[in-house]
Amino acid sequence: MKTKTLAQIDGIIGLITGIILAILPFVIVMIAGISEDEDAAAVIVGMMFIAFALVKIAILILGILTLVYYKDDKRISLAPSILFIVGAVVSLIPFLGWIGGIVIIIGAALYLSSLKQFQIQE
């Protein structure tokens, strides 16, 4: 039961962070465009970059941990964990965060689709 819960958490966290990372550049441009005070916009955007850099590193660590955890489990392939790792690394590259977000969404969808395997075997 513990492995199913971890797969559910990975899927939900991956979907949420992937969607946020995919739309983050548009939000930053919108904040910079509508802001009257340039200093306040710079502080807000800087804080967003720092916060989401930590989120990207957390997704990278989550991908590595689940890769090690599920390496001997036949119910979950290695693809979702590898997609989490690749998506997090790509999103750390400036201006490519939205591509990493899309890759993370695909990995999360694979985690959620693998939940059917747990119900069949348990």
Count of domains observed in the chain: 1
70-112 residue pLDDT tens: 888 787 888 899 999 999 999 988 888 889 999 999 999 998 8
Residues of the domain holding 56: 2-121
Number of Cβ atoms within 10 Å of the Cβ of 25: 14
1-56 residue pLDDT tens: 467 888 888 889 999 999 998 888 888 888 878 888 888 888 888 888 898 899 99
What is the CB-side half-sphere exposure of residue 62 using CA atoms within 13 A? 25
Backbone torsion region of residue 95, taken as left when φ is above 0, otherwise alpha when ψ lies between -120 and 50, otherwise beta: left
Tokens of 3: 């492995």
Q: What is the pLDDT of residue 122?
A: 46
